[in-house]
């Protein structure tokens, strides 16, 4: 709802003329109120779309690859091209021999984020990744996987000591250590913010363009915002793929930097 | 009322400054990467990967700055 106060400035023109919610494709809305252990766990539009995407992925991918065909055909071919691209370009490039261990997680990240980004482009759809809580959970999965894999690889003491880069003079070590621990949190926080901001920005740009029609209150200006909004829709298709790629890439880099030994 | 106006002014100036900095950073990065690809087209894949990684990290700084600006407006 913080976003609502910010966006209210866009829509003052509409509120006067008619009760019509122009924000419906940007904001989340509750479909069913639910409280669990004192927390607000309502079923919202984003939750439902995220379930839909999860169900689609869980049904589609095994159906395409379940038969263990040597050469997949049709849609399976397209998915294999994407998976091999992520495998070669990201996983084995950054994780090396550790890649095998993290491959299922990172490929899941890629397809989950990609499909959640793409649902925003379906008419009537919502983008679950334009919800900060979704991206924070995704980033904290990366955080905890890096933390525990790093501690398993180097030992608890070795991991926290390994945060200090080599060649730091002894007197500066406590300060650098505090900074490195902070940067560990900031890195993963920004990972969540980046996906959230990029997926929200496209919708806000479309909202601002459509608002132009309501601000001018005329049919003559209407074609220009509509054409521009369509072009931004195409741009969002690119951004959906790019942000899924970047999220996967940075997750891999953060995990690999947590696992890697000093050199 | 005046303090609210000042908060909006500060936030918008902050966003502008952050975007200028990030724009210069990513612009220089992209220019260098393009030059590298033009000189050595066979290394295009490696350069592109490193460029996207670095661009994402620079963009992260911009995102942090924009969040600070957003907080100035929302918390006033």
> According to DSSP H, which parts of chain A are helical?
2-7, 12-17, 45-65, 75-86, 92-95, 99-118, 132-154, 156-161, 173-216, 223-259
In tens, the pLDDT along A78-89 reads 888 888 888 888
Closest Cα partner for A108 from A83, A133, A134? A83
Shortest Cα distance, chain A CAs vs residue B63, angstroms = 7
How many angstroms separate the CA atoms of A69 and A254, rounded?
34
Mutate to test the interface with A, among B60, B62, B74 (most CBs of A within 10 A): B60
Global pTM? 0.81
Length of chain B: 76
Cα–Cα distance, A248 to A242 (Å, whole number): 10
Task: Please write the tens of the pLDDT for every residue from B12-46.
Answer: 898 899 999 999 999 999 999 999 999 998 888 88
Here the ipTM equals 0.72
Question: How far from chain centre, in Å, is Cα A114?
Answer: 8
Q: For A194, which of B52, B63, B73 is closest by C-beta distance?
A: B63
**What are the E-state strand segments in chain A?**
30-32, 35-36, 39-40, 43-44
For residue B52, the chain A residues in CB contact (below 8 A) are: 245-246, 249
Q: Return the SS3 of B46.
A: helix
Return the domain boundaries, chain B.
2-75
More confident residue, A6 or B47: B47
DSSP-assigned beta bridge partners for residue A32: A43
Number of domains in chain A: 1
- Indicate if the alpha-carbon torsion angle A182, A186, A187, A192 is positive or negative: positive
CA–CA separation, A109 and A127 (whole Å): 16
What range defines the domain where residue A162 resides? 2-259
CATH number (3.30.2130.10, 3.30.450.20, 3.40.720.10, 1.20.20.10) of B2-75 reads 1.20.20.10
Distance from CA of B55 to the nearest CA of A (A): 10
């Amino acid at each position: 709802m913080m976003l609502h106060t910010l966006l209210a400035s866009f829509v003052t023109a509409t509120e006067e003329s008619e009760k019509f919610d122009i924000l419906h494709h940007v904001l989340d809305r509750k479909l069913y109120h639910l409280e669990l252990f004192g927390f607000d766990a309502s079923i919202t539009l984003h939750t439902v779309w995220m379930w839909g995407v999860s169900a689609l992925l869980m049904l589609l991918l095994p159906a395409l690859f379940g038969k263990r065909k040597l050469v997949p055909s049709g849609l399976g071919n397209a998915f294999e091209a994407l998976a091999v691209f992520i495998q070669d370009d990201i996983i084995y490039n950054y994780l090396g021999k550790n890649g095998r261990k993290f491959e299922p997680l990172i490929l899941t990240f890629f397809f989950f984020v990609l499909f959640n980004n793409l649902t925003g482009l379906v008419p009537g759809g919502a983008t679950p990744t334009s919800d900060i809580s979704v991206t924070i959970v995704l980033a904290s999965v990366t955080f905890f996987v890096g933390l525990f894999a790093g501690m398993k690889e180097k030992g608890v003491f070795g991991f926290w000591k390994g945060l200090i880069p080599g060649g730091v003079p002894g007197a500066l070590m406590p300060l650098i250590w505090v900074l490195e621990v902070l940067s560990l949190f900031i890195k993963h926080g920004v990972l969540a913010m980046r996906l959230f901001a990029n997926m929200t920005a496209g919708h806000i740009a479309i909202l601002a363009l459509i608002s132009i029609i309501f601000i001018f209150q005329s049919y003559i200006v209407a074609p220009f915002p509509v054409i521009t909004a369509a072009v931004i829709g195409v741009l969002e298709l690119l951004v959906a793929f790019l942000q899924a790629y970047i999220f996967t890439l940075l997750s891999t880099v953060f995990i690999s930097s947590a696992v890697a030994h000093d050199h | 009322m005046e303090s609210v106006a000042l908060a909006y002014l500060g936030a918008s100036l902050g966003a502008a400054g952050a975007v200028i900095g990030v724009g210069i950073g990513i612009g220089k990065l992209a220019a260098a990467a393009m030059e590298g690809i033009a000189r050595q087209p066979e290394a295009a894949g490696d350069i592109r990967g490193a460029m996207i990684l670095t661009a994402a990290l620079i963009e992260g700084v911009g995102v942090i700055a924009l969040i600070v600006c957003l907080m100035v407006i929302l918390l006033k």
